Amino acid sequence: MAVKECSPVYVPHAERSLETKGSPAILGFAVLQDLLNLARVNSLWPMTFGIACCSIEMMAAGMARFDLDRFGIIFRSTPRQSDVMIVAGTISHKFVPTIKTLWEQMPGPKWVIAMGNCAISGGPFAYEGQYAIVNGADKILPVDIYVPGCPPRPEGLIQGLLQLQKKITKGTIDANRRAEKAARRAKK
């Protein structure tokens, strides 16, 4: 079954920032980590990957009136060069393997924004007898930011991206310390 072999990859956020082998070995240096996060934050490159109605609002956010380029956000077309995966739309069962491959193809420190009710919880299509969609992106991806709305306004998406920026710069340091402690305790 298409869905069976894709085991859930839901990794708690704290542990994931350890998993990013890409970031330099001098992880312990808080100042340098802060500096790198500041750089990562100001040039978040999302992947052009719209599924349904929310993709139109994502495009609208990139256009002249709301202009994501102000925040240094350019839409890259390959997963290899993107940091953020904005899941904009409903995830159907047929699409789950593709999303997982795209997620694994993305390098280094990467984040997920679940944009729209469909990506958060299945939205208007989640009901008792639903056979076609996965109820929410967090069932198959470690989601960082949830942007509610059906579709959320471009301002909503921009606020989501800014929230992600806050989360990256503030969250990492103590998350790393807690994660290292947890990892050490888990090993004992």
Partner 1 sequence: MPTEGQKKLLEELKNSFTRALPEGRITSGDYARTGCHLEVRMSDAGMRRIAREMKERRFHLETITAVDFPDSFELVYLYSTYYQDFCRVIARILISKEASPVSVSSIYPGACWLEREIYDFFGIRFTEHPDLRRILNPDNADYFPLLKTFGKTKLTEEIDDILC
Partner 2 sequence: MNINQLPFINEIYGFLGRDLVAAVIGILIILVFVPLNSAFLVWVERKVAGHIQLRPGPMEVGPHGILQTLVDAVKLMSKEMITPKLADKFLFWLAPIIIIIPAIVCFVVIPFSPIMQVREMNVGILLIFSFSSLTVLSILMGGWASNNKYALIGAVRAVAQNVAYEIPLLLSTMSIIIMTNSFKMSEITAAQSTVWFIVYQPVAAIIFFISTTAETNRAPFDLVEAESELVSGFHTEYTGMRFALFFLAEYTNMFIAASMGAVLFFGGWHGPFFPGLIWFVIKVYVLIFVIIWVRWTFPRLRFDQLMNFAWKFMIPVAMLNLMITAVLLKVL
Partner 3 sequence: MLNIKTIDDTSINERVYQLNLGPQHPSTHGVLHLLLKLDGEVVISADPIVGYSHRGHEKMAENRIWEQFLPNTSRIDYLSGLIYNQGYCMAVEKMCGIEVPERAEYIRVITSELNRISSHLLGIMAFVMDIGAFTPFLYGWDDREHVLDILERVTGSRLTYCYNRFGGVRNDIDQEFCDGTRRFIDRLRGRFKDYHNLITENIIFIKRTRGVGIIPEETALEFGVTGPSLRGSGVAYDVRKNEPYSVYPGFKFEIPVRKEGDVMARYQVRMAEMEQSMKIIEQALDGLPQGPIRARVPRFIDPPAGDCYFAFESARGAVGYYIVSDGTRIPYRIKVRTPSFSNLFVLTRILPGNFIADTIATLGSIDVVVPEIDR
**Which CB sits closer to partner 3, 57 or 172?**
57
Task: State the sign of the Cα–Cα–Cα–Cα dihedral 77, 147, 62, 171.
Answer: negative
How far separated are the first and last CA of the chain, in Å rounded?
38
Smallest gap from Cβ 96 to partner 1, in A, equals 9
Which stretch, 79-87, 100-108, 109-117, 127-135, contacts partner 1 (CB under 8 A)? 127-135
The answer to whether residues 46 and 76 touch, using CB atoms and an 8 Å cutoff, is: yes
Pick the binder of partner 1 from 93, 166, 170, 178 (CB under 8 A): 93
Binding mask 101-130 for partner 2 (x = CB under 8 A): ----x-xxx---------------------
Cα distance between residue 153 and residue 35, in whole Å: 31
Which stretch, 19-27, 130-138, 152-160, 174-182, contacts partner 1 (CB under 8 A)? 130-138
* Cis status of the peptide bond prior to 151, with omega within 30 of 0: yes
| Partners of 87 in beta bridges | 114
Does the footprint of partner 2 cover residue 9 (CB under 8 A)?
Answer: no
| Partners of 85 in beta bridges | 112
Which residues are near partner 2 by CB under 8 A? Answer: 20-24, 35-36, 38-40, 42-43, 63-65, 67, 69-72, 76-78, 80-81, 83, 105, 107-109
